[in-house]
């Protein structure tokens, strides 16, 4: 994944995912991460947010779910 050094946007909209691999934090040119319409609770969202610099990466989430 780190080889994708020019990747600027990732849209995983409406997928069945719960976490992202830590190596995604190495995507230095990433500007947008769209995870809307994915059921993630507050803890999962916080884990994902911790991977990226919120000043550089615009992260899009739906409202957190009240799920496991």
Give the per-residue pLDDT at 11. 96
- 68 domain-assigned: no
3-class DSSP state for residue 61?
A: strand
Q: Which long-range contacts (CB under 8 A, 24 or more apart) does 18-25 make?
A: 18/44, 19/44, 19/47, 19/48, 20/48, 20/51, 22/51, 24/51, 24/52, 25/51, 25/52
**What's this model's pTM, rounded to 2 decimal places?**
0.89
Domain assignment present for residue 16? The answer is yes
- The alpha helices in the chain, defined as continuous H runs, are 42-49
Number of domains in the chain: 1
Q: Which domain holds residue 19?
A: 9-61
Q: What are the tens digits of pLDDT across the range 14-63?
A: 999 989 999 999 999 999 999 999 999 999 999 999 999 999 999 999 99
């Amino acid at each position: 994944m780190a080889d994708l050094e020019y990747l600027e946007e990732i849209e995983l909209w409406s997928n069945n995912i719960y976490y992202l691999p830590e190596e995604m934090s190495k995507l230095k040119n990433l500007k947008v991460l769209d995870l809307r319409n994915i059921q993630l609770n507050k803890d999962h969202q916080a884990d994902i947010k911790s991977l990226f610099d919120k000043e550089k990466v615009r992260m899009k989430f739906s409202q957190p779910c009240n799920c496991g």
